[in-house]
Amino acid sequence: MNKKKASGGRFSARRKQEAVMRLLRGEDLETLSRELGVTAGTVSQWREQFLAGGQGALHSRKRDERDEEIARFKAKVGDLTMDNELLEAKIEGLEGGLPLASRRSRR
């Protein structure tokens, strides 16, 4: 493998993948990191990112439009809950802590 880094000292996704694959095939982390001119921690981080991405690809169900709709509804419920809590606090402040019997009916 070419020992030079990609332009500007950065590695392309393909070069990182090649390094991770070498690591997963059993090459020594320290040796590989020295060859690439990066720290062992950097190569380890590439490996963790690579494995996390692979794990995400193995989920049994793909997201669909229903998931997006559910996320929007959950956000809306959260917004409405916050609005209700703020309104209740405002009512409490306006009523000045009067006992429940003194409050007007909400009907």
Q: Where are the alpha helices (DSSP H) in 1-107?
A: 13-24, 29-36, 40-57, 65-95
Let me know the angle formed at the C-alpha of 66 by 62 and 67, rounded to the nearest 5 degrees: 60
Q: What's the predicted TM-score (pTM) here?
A: 0.48
Residue 2, domain member (yes or no)? no
Q: What are the tens digits of pLDDT across the range 58-91?
A: 776 767 778 888 888 988 888 888 888 888 888 8
Number of compact structural domains in the chain = 2
Residue 16, domain member (yes or no)? yes
Range of the domain at 78: 65-97
Residue 39, domain member (yes or no)? yes
Per-residue confidence band for 4, with pLDDT thresholds at 50, 70 and 90: very low
Residue 107, domain member (yes or no)? no
Indicate if 51 and 69 belong to the same structural domain. no
Indicate if 77 and 46 belong to the same structural domain. no
